[in-house]
Amino acid sequence: MFDLESLYKSLIRNVQETIEVVKAAGISTTLEYYAWDSRGEAAEADHADLIGLAGWSFKENGGLWEVRSGLTLSTYNDINLFREIKILNVIHDKWGEGCKVPMVDKETGIEFTEMVVSDFDMLPGGGGAEQRNYRPIGIELLRTSS
């Protein structure tokens, strides 16, 4: 059941669910997934707010799974960062310490286990480009194999 592809798809699925919550709450109707690791140029992205994984690692240690991941949030034309803060509240609700992230089978989409967020680290903003700002977030998830 477990493999790295399932883990990666599960992380992306949780980001997609975060986007749905933000949109349903009316915080940002333009928020969309952005693949930061693709090395694209976010400053040239449409006038949308962006969120996505920004690197991740996996470690097995005596039956303990350790996943470290980055999320990056970028809001567009958010001068006072009020929209960013509202989105960060949703991110914290889905990814904060103690939150559970379901792991799903890569083929069936059926949940087979879950990981628990053990560390949530909202880092200082990473600057911006004209009307776009960036906020990195570090997350650690743990799971004992069973």
**The domain that contains 95 carries what CATH number?**
3.30.2000
Q: How far apart are CA 39 and CA 88, in angstroms?
A: 23
Neighbours of 51 (CB within 10 A): 26
Q: Estimate to the nearest angstrom the gap between the alpha carbon of 32 and the chain centroid.
A: 11
Task: Encode pLDDT of 94-113 as tens digits.
Answer: 999 999 999 988 888 888 88
Domain count within the chain: 1
Q: Is residue 83 part of a domain?
A: yes
Calculate mean pLDDT across residues 75-95.
Answer: 94
Question: Mean pLDDT highest for which of 1-5, 44-48, 56-60, 138-142?
Answer: 138-142
Q: Is residue 47 part of a domain?
A: no
The pLDDT assigned to 111 comes to: 87
Q: Is residue 123 part of a domain?
A: yes
Q: Is residue 46 part of a domain?
A: no
Closest residue by Cα to residue 54 from 11, 21, 95: 11
Q: Estimate to the nearest angstrom the gap between the alpha carbon of 51 and the chain centroid.
A: 7
Q: Which domain holds residue 83?
A: 4-37+52-144
